[in-house]
Structure 1
Amino acid sequence: MLEDIQTAIPLGILLSFMIGPVFFVLLETGATKGFRAAIAVDLGVILADILFIFIAYFSSFQLLENLSNEPGLYVFGGMILLVYGIVVYVKKETKKKESKKLKGSYLVLIVKGFLLNFINIGVLVFWLGVLIVVGPSMENDENRLIAFFTTMILTYFLVDVIKILLAKQLKKKLTPKRIRLVKKGLGVVLMICGIVLITKGFLPKEKFNVQDSIERIK
């Protein structure tokens, strides 16, 4: 089991630095809203990851393959990201009252992190690939798999905490103008991610499927 934990740690670090909408949202939240707000978003992201791991573990490969190849899911998730990116880009900043409201909005931030991760069907494909690769090497032993995925998620979370702390240091240097630029930059990133997902939805199924993703992981 110690070997399983040692294998999970570098994978958790890698997962934390995978570039996607969640990566940029975490950094932006840490820099503009502070440590607690970013942690709330991250907890939502992790809840979605845990749900995906359970889905990958308890569902059949064929079901997940059909699900991941359903273009409508990519288009739907991409449209949400695209619209959210546009809203972030055009939204005007509210004044200091926002910081007072923040104390009662952690649940909203958790839901935000959860949905940002959950709408990306590619995350489910990733966890399925990890499970298929590491499962046989651990003889599909439930206890070993729990230790592996728990270590991976905890490592991912701890690295995120470090990233958030570093991003928080920027908060002192952020003028209102710079905050607007950061938010507009985040909006552009989210729009690009949304367009990429929508594009995947219109690709031929053979161009993007679970089997290919697993082969690349191997």
Structure 2
Amino acid sequence: MLHALINGLGLGLLLAIAVGPIIFSIIKISLGYGKKAGYAFITGVCLCDALLILLGNVAAEVMRSALEYKNLIGIIGGCLFIIMGIYSFFFGKKPDFEKSRDIQVDYRKRDMAKFTLQGFFINLFNPGPLLFWLTTCTTYSFLNTNERILLFSTTLAVVFLTDFLKVNLAQKIKRWLTPPNLAKLHKATALILTLCGVIIASSVILKNFISW
């Protein structure tokens, strides 16, 4: 269980520092429409993540029916993380805060659900979270149900907490998001993702080497 908790914290922190359209949307909505709108938006994002995790784990159950291949699944999952990290580092589209001003919301105080739905669908139609959660759920398909619940609950809790902080610190974060800082953070995220893949794959290989 401790292993699941640690991995959940690690995944949550990785997503927290990842640079993408979500963080820019959080800042813009929080600054333009207030903190309540920001809270509604991140609630939608979190609900979408929960749905993607649920769907990913449904797919992972298929993997559990072939647990004799769990080592292969772990290695493949780790390699996918490595590929995603390397691709993001060298070929990923660099984040640009100034180009992310395409959100137009007909704001009404009584209609906070609009921001929740916006957060949900922006996250849903962003291919990054879908690929990330599918890969993660598949990689950890060898865990039992309780361990997976703990892992993904911890991840979602960390992500929601850090998004909550982003809403409250939107003005300060915006000043910090200069092009050089964005480029560094983008590369750091890619390197961390690659490192996660290396750790996952190498741990499976090492475990089998020792047992052999």
Where has structure 1 moved over 3 Å in runs of 4 or more? 85-88, 168-171, 214-218
Shift of 1:103: 2.3
Q: What residue is the counterpart of 1:56 in the other structure?
A: 56
Matches within 5 A, 1:41-190: 41-59=41-59, 88=103, 102-136=108-142, 138=143, 141-167=144-170
The 3-state SS of whatever aligns with 1:143 is helix
Q: What residue is the counterpart of 1:33 in the other structure?
A: 33
Any gaps of 5 or more consecutive residues in structure 1? 62-84, 172-213
Structure 2 Cα separation of the partners of residues 117 and 150 of structure 1: 18
In structure 2, what residue type is equivalent to 1:121? P
Identify the range of structure 1 (25-34 vs 146-155) with the bigger mean alpha-carbon deviation: 25-34
Deviations 1:176-198 (A, max 9, x none): xxxxxxxxxxxxxxxxxxxxxxx
Shift of 1:86: 7.7
Report if aligned partners of 2:8, 2:154 keep a CA contact under 8 Å in 1: yes
The percentage of counterpart residues that share the same residue type is 28
TM-score, normalised relative to structure 1 = 0.57
Root-mean-square deviation (Å): 3.3
Structure 2 Cα separation of the partners of residues 51 and 38 of structure 1: 20
Report if aligned partners of 2:27, 2:167 keep a CA contact under 8 Å in 1: yes
In structure 2, what residue type is equivalent to 1:58? V
Deviations 1:29-75 (A, max 9, x none): 122222111110001111111111111111357xxxxxxxxxxxxxx
The 3-state SS of whatever aligns with 1:109 is helix
Structure 2 Cα separation of the partners of residues 87 and 107 of structure 1: 19
Q: What residue is the counterpart of 1:15 in the other structure?
A: 15
Report if aligned partners of 1:15, 1:156 keep a CA contact under 8 Å in 2: yes
Residues 170 and 58 of structure 1: is their aligned pair in 2 closer, same or farther, counting only changes over 3 Å? closer
The 3-state SS of whatever aligns with 2:19 is coil
